Structure 1
Amino acid sequence: MTRALIVIDMQRGFDDLDFWGPTANPDCEANVAALVAAWSAADEPIVVVRHDSASPSSPLHPGNPGNALVDVVAEFRPALFVTKNVNSAFYGDPDLHAWLRERGIDEVVICGIQTNMCVETTARMAGNLGYRTTVVLDATRTFDLSTDVAGLGTVTRRAEDLMASTALVLQGGGFARIATTAELVAA
């Protein structure tokens, strides 16, 4: 056992498109389910991460129904369950890095929501911590994003473009390898 699947923030609250806006990759949940099934069949460890937002107005706040995991993730018992309130799963509870090291796991495969937020931040940290890191891009999704940026004005990006940028930065920057669900399920 030298690798683990890390499933990030697969929560019902991300189905609230009135809150989050337009999204990309409607196959994300099915692809996450395929990865979970493959890891379970191979008896490899699966880590589930849940975002507990500190903001009461967020669908991901622990007091809101959107904090619950989606069925494909909630149906099984993971080897480790981590809660966090920041972008990186490495800053959650319990300590993901310590848990992986105690078990001699040196490779992580990451999927979940949001591609350019918690998935990317966790992948960058995993790469920096020395893990062989793979992000399964078609088992992630994100949402359109628009914000005012000093010196640039309003910057807007479509979800598909954010996913492509994440893939480019992670693989091009040496943080992680980008893979597909089919590639990993067949392996």
Structure 2
Amino acid sequence: MSKRAIIAVDIQNDYFPGGKYELAGMERAADNAARVIRAARERGDRVIHIQHVFEGPEAPFFVPNTEGVKTNPVVAPLAGENIVVKTHVHSFLNTDLKELLDHNGIEDVVVVGAMSHMCIDAATRAASDLGYNTTVFQDACATRDLEFNGVTVPAGSVHAAMMAALGFAYAKIVDTDIYLAAE
């Protein structure tokens, strides 16, 4: 059995065009994530879907029991694949993700999904801190423009800064096409 798991973080409808919290490049990122997941399934790697559900109907997005909270069909879980529901940015916080990985002998974690500057960052750092060999498919992740102190930071710059930081000490950062061509 494979010792690698793909963790597909928050690839949910609210992040897509028309959703409550649209991200720049989410469709492209999800298409790449789908390619990574498809290759993982063919290799026999474990695929784990993370679903963020905010508590309460006043949530800004990912409201319980709405279309927006559902995993987007492009990466829909197959029967038998794990779905870990979280209520925080951090995929390991108050979830059974670590136990699931350890129970299945996982040593290598691949992270794809959204948002680069929040949930991808948190999942990647946590996976690395917990001792997993961690890889992020940078073009299978998406984010959005941010604002700080009256300055708008474009999504592309936010994403690049996050990948640079994660690549410095936490994860191997790869491109989908290059990685899949080498497999």
Normalising by structure 1, what TM-score?
A: 0.88
> 2:92 maps to which residue?
90
- Preserved contact between residue 14 and residue 22 of structure 2 (Cα < 8 Å): no
> 1:171 maps to which residue?
167
Deviation at 1:146, TM superposition (A): 1.4
Aligned residue runs from structure 1 range 47-62, under 5 A: 47-56=48-57, 57-62=59-64
Match of 2:153 among 145, 154, 157: 157
Distance 1:82 1:24, change over 3 A: same
- Preserved contact between residue 16 and residue 23 of structure 2 (Cα < 8 Å): no
Matched, 1:23 2:10: no
- Preserved contact between residue 20 and residue 68 of structure 2 (Cα < 8 Å): no
Deviation at 1:180, TM superposition (A): 0.9
Amino acid at match of 2:90: S
Q: Aligned partners of 1:78, 1:117: CA distance in 2, in Å?
A: 28
Partner secondary structure for residue 101 of structure 2 = helix
Q: Aligned partners of 2:178, 2:84: CA distance in 1, in Å?
A: 27
66-75 or 107-116, which moves further after superposition?
Answer: 66-75
- Superposed CA deviations along residues 27-83 of structure 1, whole A, max 9, x for unmatched, are 111101101110111111100000001252423111322001111222523532100
Matched, 1:181 2:176: yes
Normalising by structure 2, what TM-score?
A: 0.90
- Preserved contact between residue 46 and residue 78 of structure 1 (Cα < 8 Å): no
Equivalent residue pairs, number: 180
Distance 1:18 1:50, change over 3 A: closer
Amino acid at match of 1:5: I
> 1:71 maps to which residue?
73
> 2:139 maps to which residue?
138
Q: Aligned partners of 2:137, 2:118: CA distance in 1, in Å?
A: 14
Any stretches of 5+ residues in structure 2 without a counterpart?
none
Identity over the aligned pairs, expressed in percent? 28
Distance 1:131 1:145, change over 3 A: same
Any stretches of 5+ residues in structure 1 without a counterpart?
148-152
Amino acid at match of 1:23: A
Partner secondary structure for residue 20 of structure 1 = coil
Amino acid at match of 2:83: F
Partner secondary structure for residue 150 of structure 2 = strand
